[in-house]
Amino acid sequence: MKIVTTVEGVREQVKAWRKEGKTVGLVPTMGYLHEGHKSLIDRAVKENDEVVVSVFVNPMQFGPTEDLDSYPRDLAADAKLCEAAGASIIFHPEPEEMYKDGFCSFVDMSGLTNALCGLSRPVHFRGVCTVVTKLFNIVTPDRAYFGEKDAQQLAVVKRMVRDLNMPLEIVGCPIIREADGLAKSSRNTYLPPEARQQALVLSKSIFLGKKMVEDGERDPEKVKQAMREVINTAPLADIDYVEIVDVNTMKSVDVIKGEILCAIAVKMGSYARLIDNFMMTV
Ligand code: AMP
């Protein structure tokens, strides 16, 4: 398995694969790979002849006060995981390779991004849409794999592909969790033991909310209130949002009905901002 650092290098490789009539899958990541990323790579390896994993901590999707500099990085470990999972190449460009001097073109979206994480992270989805579009143009994959862990991102990317007629399929993959329930995330490494323990309130509240809806609760306020109470039992937890939205519009629902996304974002002290969710068709 090769690590390719240039756009040109990826293009040459993909061209050679295409000559042999091969299909190509893409798994975009920011690296520091874990079992959640691996589940996307495994699926991509199953469904495509060749798989490109991009490892790029995209500066454009971080706000000025966010964790761009401290974001964990370990390319050697990432390469091991990708190789063992059967990926063909890692695309690992420097920011200067992706954003040449004078870069000034962006892909942006309205509506779906004016909710949930888009409210507390105003530049985030523009950065995501722009880098994902670039990756699609560089790799020209048949399929690209995204985790439901980032449910709003998945919805945004699916909509962008539909709206802009991008010629590929977007595949959503389920959330992979730690044994105790916490959704796997590269940012979990920021948590010292006490905060890691308290972070369990995220998954606990998600499981409770899901159970309430499964048991027939249709009032979003009741579900959100019960979830907030669980989260607030952790002294370090500071709720950014607990929302139940229509997955197609990202607008809050008055009644739990149709395709809904219940999503939360919680700051654990000053250590990390964590997200979790469940999606359901009611
Ligand atoms: P990231 O490196 O955090 O940008 O994530 C890269 C991709 O992996 C995104 O599509 C994420 O949604 C997905 N991902 C991250 N964590 C998980 C998880 N615990 N389960 C499933 N997918 C995940």
- CATH number, domain of 266, equals 3.30.1300.10
149 CA: nearest ligand 1 atom = 12
**pLDDT tens track for 33-67:** 999 999 999 999 999 999 999 999 999 999 999 99
- Per-residue model confidence (pLDDT) at position 168: 98
CATH of the domain at 130: 3.40.50.620
What's the number of CA atoms in the CB half-sphere (13 Å) around residue 237?
A: 26
* 30 and 55, same domain (yes or no): yes
Indicate if 60 and 102 belong to the same structural domain: yes
Q: Which of 173, 199, 214 is the last residue of a domain?
A: 173
pLDDT of 202 reads: 98
Choose the final residue of a domain: 118, 143, 173: 173
In this structure, the residue with its CA closest to atom 12 of ligand 1 is 147
> Does residue 178 sit within a domain?
no
Distance 19 CA to ligand 1 centre (A): 31
Name residues whose C-beta falls within 8 Å of residue 43's C-beta, 6 or more positions apart in sequence. Answer: 145, 171, 173
* Residue 265: predicted pLDDT: 98
Among protein residues, the one whose CA lies closest to atom 18 of ligand 1: 36
Domain enclosing residue 37, as ranges: 2-173
Q: How many angstroms separate the alpha carbon of residue 102 from the centre of ligand 1?
A: 30
pLDDT for residue 48: 99
Kindly report the protein residue whose alpha carbon is nearest to atom 7 of ligand 1. Answer: 29
Farthest-apart Cα atoms in the chain, separation: 58
Substitution site in 42, 150, 203 for ligand 1 pocket (most atoms within 8 Å of beta carbon)? 150
Per-chain mean pLDDT for the chain: 98
Residues tagged active-site: 37
Question: Is the distance from the beta carbon of residue 268 to the nearest atom of ligand 1 less than 6 Å?
Answer: no
**Do 137 and 249 lie in a common domain?**
no
* pLDDT on residue 215: 98
Looking at the structure of the chain, the number of domains it has is 2
Query: Is residue 30 in contact with ligand 1, taking CB distance under 6 Å?
Result: yes
Tokens of 121: 């992270």
> What integer pLDDT is reported at residue 183 of this predicted model?
98
93, part of any domain: yes
Q: What is the mean pLDDT of residues 60-79?
A: 97
Q: Of the candidates 173, 199, 226, which is a domain's last residue?
A: 173
* Structural domain includes residue 261: yes
Q: Is residue 136 domain-resident?
A: yes
3-state helix, strand, coil in the chain (%, to 5): 40, 20, 35
The verdict on 29 and 129 lying in the same domain is: yes
Do 39 and 101 belong together in one domain?
Answer: yes
Q: Which pair of structure tokens corresponds to residue 96?
A: 């200067």
Pocket of ligand 1 contains residue 124 by CB under 6 Å: no
Contact predicate 276/261, CB 8 Å? no
What separation in Å is there between the alpha carbon of 173 and the centre of ligand 1?
9
In angstroms, what is the span from residue 253 Cα to ligand 1's centroid?
Answer: 26
Task: Name residue 26's amino acid.
Answer: L
pLDDT in the model for residue 269: 98
Residues 162 and 119 sit within 8 Å (Cβ to Cβ):
no
- Whether 180 maps to a domain, the answer reads no
